[in-house]
Structure 1
């Protein structure tokens, strides 16, 4: 079991470490790379996975419902923790709800379950993103305008992907291959970008970051385990939901906090320390998922 877990997590952390070292040596400007990843590569991956033959939307309904439960449940459990710490709920709660399903969850799902685990994890990734761009933004700013959400390439790709998954219109083979090739570039690019971003974040407010880095995976795994116990799921779906629950806070939380000026330095510390602590919690989540 230990050898299998190491075989799953080491490639992921090595690529993140490569991005960190590259940032230390070169100090690259990742603005354009991140923009391409979010506006081109991610939509291509989402559409390719959801519209592909390997994804069955009816069989994944419980899993997607489970992801909603994990996101909402983690937020509800984190709320009193924020009050106890006397931290701003708008700063602390969203990073507990929205985890690193893209950067870390997708490659871990592929390494743990092969191609069969990829499309379901993409579905969890899309559900989490939709909730972050709606509920997550609303928590931070009640007056945010959601019209821009409809213009988001990932949202458009999600709608189209689920439409193709439900009605199965034909896609030319050459077009499907081209979209898949573009989408396949996302995973290594996101891992490298995560390493670069972790280098740029400072260790200020480490106490809040430490608490957040522990609360996020613990609440996620607790809600995932409770949902799996309450609802009958197959072994792979159970494992994927636990894997989803154990992930650290997403880097996107920092970007959203920066956009709305919601204590971005504190959110950055939560993200940084949470991802460092994933060295402990991801193997734990994998052990439970593969048990």
Structure 2
């Protein structure tokens, strides 16, 4: 079991480590590093292509993932409620603490992790979890930080547009030319390694500004996530694979997008950066734990 878990997590953390090492070496040699264009290209082209290809595949049937999507939503809401209560107890601003405890790294880490752990057939379910998390992050997450934010143009977010387009294609049963679908899949294949590499770069550039809050979040995020995953899997009678994927989803660390949103809305970005960085380092402990609990 140890070597099986190691074989799953090693490629993920090796690529993250490569990004971290590259950024540190560039910084040490006096060179700057700007991942802005690469990240923009990934979120506007490669990840949408990955989402579209997964959702239009023959293996994807929307109705079969309804309970998994509902479980993911309830898990995030439950984690958010616990985090709101603890933030009040600690004297921290809920707007700072709650989003990183709710919205997880379902893209950078979740997608490759679930494919490596559960096989290529798990990609559609992993994409559903990624889409549900992103949709809630861009809606509720934005509203939490700015109650006056306009959400009517959410469809313009490339990842969400790609998912809606794929669902429309599946609904009207539009046949796609196989070579076109192959091309879209090839473009989407760029997304996962670039997501991991850019995460490593981001972690290398982050600051340890509030270790106390970061350590609390490092434990709270996966602990509440895995607890709600276990309860919801039983309550909704999820099948074995979906229950295992939900457990891994619950163990994921805070999404890097939390830091991006905190910067945009001036919501204590230094504290959020620490929550994200320390939480992702804590994944070295909690991800293997979640895999040990789910793999047979």
Q: Same fold (TM over 0.5)?
A: yes
Task: Specify the alignment match of 1:248 in structure 2.
Answer: 253
> Structure 2: which 5+ residue stretches go unaligned?
27-31
Task: Specify the alignment match of 2:10 in structure 1.
Answer: 10
Deviation at residue 148 of structure 1 after TM alignment: 3.7
Task: Specify the alignment match of 2:288 in structure 1.
Answer: 283
Are the counterparts in 2 of residues 55 and 165 from structure 1 also a CA contact under 8 Å? no
Deviation at residue 115 of structure 1 after TM alignment: 0.9
Deviation at residue 149 of structure 1 after TM alignment: 1.7
- Give me the CA root mean square deviation: 1.0
The answer as to 2:87 corresponding to 1:82 is yes
Describe the superposition over 1:12-63 as per-residue Cα deviations: whole angstroms up to 9, x where unpaired. 0000000000001124210100100111111111111111112121111111
Describe the superposition over 1:120-151 as per-residue Cα deviations: whole angstroms up to 9, x where unpaired. 00110011000000001101111111134221
Task: Specify the alignment match of 1:208 in structure 2.
Answer: 213
Alignment of 1:1-291 (within 5 A): 1-26=1-26, 27-291=32-296
Are the counterparts in 2 of residues 50 and 164 from structure 1 also a CA contact under 8 Å? no
Structure 1 Cα separation of the partners of residues 270 and 34 of structure 2: 19
Structure 2 Cα separation of the partners of residues 216 and 137 of structure 1: 19
TM-score (norm 1): 0.98
Structure 1 Cα separation of the partners of residues 22 and 170 of structure 2: 39
SS of 1:273's equivalent in the other structure is: helix
Structure 2 Cα separation of the partners of residues 160 and 96 of structure 1: 30
SS of 2:199's equivalent in the other structure is: helix
> Structure 1: which 5+ residue stretches go unaligned?
none
Deviation at residue 167 of structure 1 after TM alignment: 3.7
Say how many residue pairs are matched.
291
Structure 1 Cα separation of the partners of residues 183 and 225 of structure 2: 35
Structure 2 Cα separation of the partners of residues 123 and 288 of structure 1: 22
Are the counterparts in 2 of residues 103 and 187 from structure 1 also a CA contact under 8 Å? yes
SS of 2:252's equivalent in the other structure is: coil
SS of 2:253's equivalent in the other structure is: coil
Describe the superposition over 1:253-283 as per-residue Cα deviations: whole angstroms up to 9, x where unpaired. 0001111111111000000000000011000
Structure 2 Cα separation of the partners of residues 137 and 35 of structure 1: 19
Structure 1 Cα separation of the partners of residues 95 and 48 of structure 2: 28
